[in-house]
A and B are shown apart, each in its own frame.
Chain A
Amino acid sequence: MNGILNIIKDRALTYEQKIVSLARAAENTLSVLPISEEVQEYRREGILCDLNEGNAPYRPRYIVPDYERFMKQGSEFLRLKPAKDIWEATNNLLILYRHVPSVTTMPVYVGNLDTLLEPYIEDEEEAYKAVRLFLMHLDRTVTDSFCHANIGPGVTKAGRLILRAEKELQDAVPNLTIKYSKETPDEFALEAVETALVSAKPSFANHEMFVNDFGINYSIASCYNGLPIGGGSFTLARLVLARLAKQSNNAEHFLEEALPEAVSKMCEFMDQRIRFIVEESGFFESSFLVGESLIYKDRFTAMFGMVGLAECVNHLLGAAEQKDRFGHNDAANALGQRIVERIHQLVSEHNNQYCKATDGRFLLHAQVGIDTDYGISPGCRIPIGEEPEIYDHLLQSAPFHKYFPSGIGDVFSFDETVKRNPAYLLDIIKGGFSEGLRYISFYASDSDLIRITGYLVKKSDMKVLQQGGQALHDTVALGLGAVQNSRILERKVRHNG
């Protein structure tokens, strides 16, 4: 009970953060999931983890409502009529967001905002004011930067207004992705690059690749997770390869013994969580989102996360010198690919009756790490401090992206002088996508707002928190942990060449 009293008395937590923490603590007093001793052992060793989802999941982790339908029909439960102008449209959306649950208690997806708002744009300056206030409202009330908006791939007036506002606001919320394809005009893409160089967003998603995996109705939610619209992901657990690798002294043992066993146990763990959400929690029988057809049970899937591939490979090869390590050595990179292929194969063989959106399969997710990870690199990324030159970096990374429909991406910090030549970055994005890259994020080295791993935090907010102050967004604490444990601020700055 001390833990609960500590939450109540914690002066660095806002009132809202206390409530969320208390709810988590309450949930975690339960143990309703039948978890086997083998799974528990993996969890104790930190090899397998539920990423803070709690002991009794009472909603899917990531919910991706069909906002297009909501705009057309309004909501009976919320007593909202379809909007007639930009003020009603933004107001309706803000009301609905308050009632979209997720693991953070706040919405992780807020819609393809440009196409949602485009029909309501008449007077552009009035619309700009509405869009700007709407985005500011999101930042100050959805106090968690895993909240993600999408724009693109086509150019719209609303899309340009959103970029203009983000350039001015430079807020952490919402996270933002532009779906980029051949139909995205260069002019619009360049505006997006310019915006990203002052506000660390949008990131660029390879639209064609996502459409190939999901069809046109996909979203980018939370960090960078591809998920079906009108559904989402029941759960996301993760396998910490960096720690699992310690059970093996060579690649063969790892691939044939350690990995199959751990994947099998993690699937079992995920099955239990999904079963509880679907069969016991009552979520799908009680949420108005289901009743009003904004989400469907059969459009959900689940995400199988993995993290720390680089450290896993380096351990199995005993690679100490840079030239022998993952990211720099052909054999190390090839082993990395073999491991991911093996995970892909093992996970594909597993069937879960409730993951109907993906024919019973779990989707792979390159998890970006948590604040307490130490010496564990996100997903398949090359460790910070060991990054090669950008050309080699992109080519090393691209082959991994095809395995991860529900999210993978690289983050780059560019010297601020790149602002003078945004076409330079657009060329790099185009090249990366043509080489198979799925998702890319970047920011300028002089930016206060930066991408930690998959979410945005202001350096100035982390400083306040570090000095004992409060931060409005709960993700500031996660960012600070990652800065202290994962050297985020030492990410290689890409200078010319």
Chain B
Amino acid sequence: MAKALVNKILLFSSVDGPGNRTAIFFQGCNFNCLYCHNPETINRCTGCGLCLDACPAGALSSRNGTIEWDSASCIGCDACLEACPGKSSPKAVSMTVNDVMKTVEKVKPFISGITVSGGECTIQKEFLVELFEAVHKLGLTAYVDTNGYIDFSKEPELTFTMDKAMLDIKSYDEEEHKMLTGMSNAIVLKNAEYLANKQKLYEIRTVIVPGILDNHRNVAEVSRLIAELDADIRYKLIRFRPIGVYGDIKKVGIPSDELMAGLKKIAEENGCRYVTVV
């Protein structure tokens, strides 16, 4: 059975797709976004051990070069994450599909389904396919929260076992996208079209960062794309918040209500039916 590295599982989530969903955050990402608000999910732990001394509860130990985390004594202070030089977490846990399903089965009466997120969950795509099959057997749905770097047209198993995707279009502009994430947006845009045509696209998200991104252009272009593909695809405009982020971008302010309202108006005028600001 496949195994995956899971950063954490949130039993109830109101913001990861339709209804109440159990959100599973996978460790590891192929982007390195300036504004990442959970940068500890980006890389895998190298076992350097710098977090060991930072832990005030003695919940971390090192054995044969790997860091072991004792969840029972952990007090959740996140001092280990602050001490990590490698944008990782010693608390990520290797889990089988059965392990994850034990949690899902427990909360089953309360949820519409699960959403896999990250990090970038599609890096562990074989695991996802097995997980979704198990989830479907319980009558629940499986949503994928993705940065869209994997080419879904070349991943038929993943595309057809998942119910729907929620796709980030972080920037419509190739250069800006590279500046922000370190990667091209060509496949991201291709995925938007491909998934929409397959009725597999639930939502597109764009984070609004004043002074760093050309927010007006991004929202205008993405909303035009949505209207052209399927105006019922939700468009979520997310305010940048300096919580959890690393580096200079911390100094960037939170977008004003006026800015967000103006962007929402642009998206609606371009034909999007469901625009939300968070």
Residues A497 and B110 in contact in the complex (CB < 8 Å), given A423-B18, A423-B20, A424-B20 = no
Whether B278 and A427, one on each chain, are in contact in the complex, defined by CB atoms closer than 8 angstroms, is no
Residues A391 and B11 in contact in the complex (CB < 8 Å), given A420-B276, A430-B109 = yes
The reply on A40 being an interface residue by CB < 8 A is: no
Chain A's nearest CB lies how many Å from the CB of B277? 9
Give the docked Cα–Cα distance between A496 and B13 (Å): 5
Whether B109 and A497, one on each chain, are in contact in the complex, defined by CB atoms closer than 8 angstroms, is no
Whether A435 and B278, one on each chain, are in contact in the complex, defined by CB atoms closer than 8 angstroms, is no
In the complex, chain B residues whose CB is within 8 Å of the CB of A434 = 109
Whether A432 and B20, one on each chain, are in contact in the complex, defined by CB atoms closer than 8 angstroms, is no
Give the docked Cα–Cα distance between A391 and B10 (Å): 11
Whether A417 and B14, one on each chain, are in contact in the complex, defined by CB atoms closer than 8 angstroms, is yes
Whether A421 and B19, one on each chain, are in contact in the complex, defined by CB atoms closer than 8 angstroms, is yes
Chain B's nearest CB lies how many Å from the CB of A470? 37
Whether B19 and A427, one on each chain, are in contact in the complex, defined by CB atoms closer than 8 angstroms, is yes
Whether B11 and A496, one on each chain, are in contact in the complex, defined by CB atoms closer than 8 angstroms, is no
Whether A497 and B11, one on each chain, are in contact in the complex, defined by CB atoms closer than 8 angstroms, is yes
- Contacts of A345-394 to chain B: CB distance below 8 A: 389-391, 394
In the complex, chain B residues whose CB is within 8 Å of the CB of A418 = 14
Whether A428 and B20, one on each chain, are in contact in the complex, defined by CB atoms closer than 8 angstroms, is yes
Whether B10 and A497, one on each chain, are in contact in the complex, defined by CB atoms closer than 8 angstroms, is yes
In the complex, chain A residues whose CB is within 8 Å of the CB of B75 = none
In the complex, chain B residues whose CB is within 8 Å of the CB of A435 = 109
Most buried by B among A394, A426, A428: A428
Considering the complex, give the chain A residue whose CB is closest to the CB of B106.
A391
The reply on B186 being an interface residue by CB < 8 A is: no
Q: Is the interface of A mostly helix, strand, loop or mixed?
A: helix
Considering the complex, give the chain B residue whose CB is closest to the CB of A391.
B11
Give the docked Cα–Cα distance between A390 and B11 (Å): 10
Whether A423 and B10, one on each chain, are in contact in the complex, defined by CB atoms closer than 8 angstroms, is no
Considering the complex, give the chain A residue whose CB is closest to the CB of B108.
A431
Selected contact of B12 from candidates A390, A423, A426, A430, CB within 8 Å = A390
Considering the complex, give the chain B residue whose CB is closest to the CB of A418.
B14
The reply on B50 being an interface residue by CB < 8 A is: no
Whether B111 and A421, one on each chain, are in contact in the complex, defined by CB atoms closer than 8 angstroms, is no
Give the docked Cα–Cα distance between A430 and B15 (Å): 19
Whether A417 and B15, one on each chain, are in contact in the complex, defined by CB atoms closer than 8 angstroms, is yes
Interface string of A286-327 (1 = CB under 8 A from B): 000000000000000000000000000000000000000000
Whether A391 and B19, one on each chain, are in contact in the complex, defined by CB atoms closer than 8 angstroms, is no
Chain B's nearest CB lies how many Å from the CB of A201? 20
In the complex, chain A residues whose CB is within 8 Å of the CB of B11 = 389, 391, 497
Interface string of B91-115 (1 = CB under 8 A from A): 0000000000000000101111000
Give the docked Cα–Cα distance between A427 and B112 (Å): 7
Whether B12 and A391, one on each chain, are in contact in the complex, defined by CB atoms closer than 8 angstroms, is yes
Question: Contact residue range for chain A?
Answer: 20 to 34
Give the docked Cα–Cα distance between A390 and B15 (Å): 16
In the complex, chain B residues whose CB is within 8 Å of the CB of A425 = 20
In the complex, chain A residues whose CB is within 8 Å of the CB of B13 = 496-497
- Contacts of B76-132 to chain A: CB distance below 8 A: 107, 109-112
Residues A421 and B14 in contact in the complex (CB < 8 Å), given A426-B19, A427-B19, A427-B20 = yes
Selected contact of A497 from candidates B12, B111, B276, CB within 8 Å = B12
Whether A423 and B276, one on each chain, are in contact in the complex, defined by CB atoms closer than 8 angstroms, is no
Chain B's nearest CB lies how many Å from the CB of A424? 4
- Contacts of A386-412 to chain B: CB distance below 8 A: 389-391, 394
In the complex, chain B residues whose CB is within 8 Å of the CB of A427 = 19-20, 110-112
Selected contact of B110 from candidates A389, A420, A428, A496, CB within 8 Å = A428
Chain B's nearest CB lies how many Å from the CB of A60? 38
In the complex, chain A residues whose CB is within 8 Å of the CB of B276 = 420
Give the docked Cα–Cα distance between A391 and B276 (Å): 27
Chain A's nearest CB lies how many Å from the CB of B4? 20
Whether A421 and B110, one on each chain, are in contact in the complex, defined by CB atoms closer than 8 angstroms, is no
Give the docked Cα–Cα distance between A432 and B111 (Å): 11
Whether A420 and B278, one on each chain, are in contact in the complex, defined by CB atoms closer than 8 angstroms, is yes
In the complex, chain B residues whose CB is within 8 Å of the CB of A420 = 14, 276, 278
Give the docked Cα–Cα distance between A426 and B21 (Å): 12
Whether A417 and B278, one on each chain, are in contact in the complex, defined by CB atoms closer than 8 angstroms, is yes
In the complex, chain B residues whose CB is within 8 Å of the CB of A389 = 11-12
In the complex, chain B residues whose CB is within 8 Å of the CB of A390 = 12
Interface string of B1-19 (1 = CB under 8 A from A): 0000000001111110011
Chain B's nearest CB lies how many Å from the CB of A381? 20
Interface string of B178-218 (1 = CB under 8 A from A): 00000000000000000000000000000000000000000
Whether A496 and B19, one on each chain, are in contact in the complex, defined by CB atoms closer than 8 angstroms, is no
Give the docked Cα–Cα distance between A428 and B107 (Å): 10
Whether A391 and B14, one on each chain, are in contact in the complex, defined by CB atoms closer than 8 angstroms, is no
Whether B109 and A423, one on each chain, are in contact in the complex, defined by CB atoms closer than 8 angstroms, is no
Interface string of B210-245 (1 = CB under 8 A from A): 000000000000000000000000000000000000
B-to-A contact residues, CB < 8 Å: 10-15, 18-20, 23, 107, 109-112, 276, 278
Question: Would you mind naming 29 contact pairs between A and B with Cβ atoms under 8 Å apart?
Answer: A391-B12, A391-B107, A418-B14, A420-B14, A420-B278, A421-B15, A421-B19, A423-B20, A423-B112, A424-B12, A424-B19, A424-B20, A425-B20, A426-B19, A427-B19, A427-B20, A427-B111, A428-B12, A428-B20, A428-B110, A431-B20, A431-B107, A434-B109, A496-B12, A496-B13, A496-B14, A496-B15, A497-B12, A497-B23
A-to-B contact residues, CB < 8 Å: 389-391, 394, 417-418, 420-421, 423-428, 430-432, 434-435, 496-497
Known: A421-B19, A423-B20, A425-B20. 18 other contacts (CB 8 A): A389-B11, A391-B11, A391-B107, A417-B14, A420-B14, A420-B278, A423-B18, A426-B19, A427-B111, A427-B112, A431-B107, A431-B109, A431-B110, A432-B110, A496-B10, A496-B13, A496-B15, A497-B12
**What 6 pairs between A and B have smallest CB-CB spacing?**
A431-B110, A427-B20, A431-B109, A423-B19, A424-B14, A497-B10
